[in-house]
A = this chain, B = another copy of it.
Amino acid sequence: MRLAILGNGGFGTAMAIAELAAGHDVTVWGHDAEYTAAIARTRRNPRYLPDDLEIPSAIRFTARGEECLRGAQAVLVAVPTQHLRAVASGLRAAFPASAPVVSLAKGLEEGTALRPSRVLEGVLGSGRRVLALSGPSHAEEVARGLPATVVLAGEDAAAREAMQAALSTPALRIYGNSDLLGVELCGALKNVMAIAAGIADGLELGDNAKAAILSRGIVEMARFGVAEGAERETFFGLAGVGDLAVTAFSRHGRNRAFGERIGRGETMAAILASTRKVAEGVWTSRVVRDRARAVGVDMPLCAAVCAVLFEGVGARSAVGALMLRDRKQEASD
């Protein structure tokens, strides 16, 4: 199948490599013409992937969206959440009318609090239904062909199963899930919790503390999700606890790494200026906090992350306040 991938970040590029191996004809679009041309020429993507990772010559790279999308039978959108609207709006006319669109973004849009699939559906119009792919899938490992299991979420079973069959490879196992809302909230919220886990790393609190953050984080994520209408079960599956575990504990996690630098005392401005890797959880945390307040859901970890990032509260005192919360009985809500 002709596959268009919008976004040449780590995961977009990794998916291009995986899907080429599955026999698809893959074209990747990147917004930065010069950098995209450099990838095409050098077969390397040093901003987002290790230097030793060679990108097969059969994958085409272009900065012209029309060229990428022309004739595509499916479109994977691997653009950071906060750029999703601008990218999709700019290329709207070029999206083939009947091609399924799969979002790979993990966040919530600032200002609207919309999930990626909703942003894309709003921009693309015509009743188009967007699917979402999520789960524990660090780009570097996917690019190297190591095994990963992910969730493809979509409300239309036939459309979902068709894409599941098309995108599955021996290394990339794809499970179907009808709870699109839950899967997208998992992807967005786990990045916030990963920042909290990273802050604990930066404060050198140890792995026991991080496991506590993970346990409480997943319960907090599920509580928010259920209030929004998602299935509780989704949060305890691959896209929820699976992705959160790897994001919180793996050396790869960029949200965790961001949190760690915060925990060590760096300022957010300094960190953001030092890297191109987007820690989606930074922006999502504030969206979630505001939404949680509006709907009356208690999210102490998310609130603590926001307090540290945006309100000048010290990391150690925010963590201390969390530890002192008087919760004597283990409970899920």
Instruction: Identify the A interface with B (CB < 8 A).
Output: 135-138, 141-142, 144, 146-149, 151, 161, 164, 173, 175-177, 205-212, 214-215, 218-219, 233-234, 236-238, 241-243, 245-246, 248-252, 323, 327-330, 332
Q: Are B246 and A329 in contact (CB under 8 A)?
A: no
Q: Report if A209-B147 is in contact (Cβ < 8 Å); known contacts: A218-B241, A241-B215.
A: yes
Q: Are A208 and B176 in contact (CB under 8 A)?
A: no
Q: Are A330 and B250 in contact (CB under 8 A)?
A: no
Q: Please, which residues of chain B bring their CB within 8 A of the CB of A249?
A: 207, 245-246, 249-250
In the complex, the count of this chain's copies comes to: 2
Q: Report if A214-B236 is in contact (Cβ < 8 Å); known contacts: A138-B207, A175-B330.
A: no
**Can you name 15 A-B residue pairings with CB atoms under 8 Å?**
A135-B211, A142-B208, A146-B206, A147-B209, A147-B323, A164-B328, A173-B323, A210-B246, A212-B238, A215-B237, A218-B241, A219-B236, A219-B237, A237-B330, A246-B249
Nearest CB in chain B: distance from A316 CB, A: 11
Q: What's the Cα separation between A176 and B161 when bound, in Å?
A: 43
Q: What's the Cα separation between A205 and B236 when bound, in Å?
A: 23
Q: Besides A138-B207, A148-B209, A241-B245, 9 other CB < 8 A contacts?
A: A136-B207, A136-B212, A136-B215, A147-B209, A149-B209, A175-B328, A215-B245, A219-B237, A237-B332
Q: Are A147 and B205 in contact (CB under 8 A)?
A: yes
Nearest CB in chain B: distance from A138 CB, A: 6
Q: What's the Cα separation between A208 and B171 when bound, in Å?
A: 11
Q: Are A176 and B328 in contact (CB under 8 A)?
A: yes
Q: What's the Cα separation between A208 and B139 when bound, in Å?
A: 10
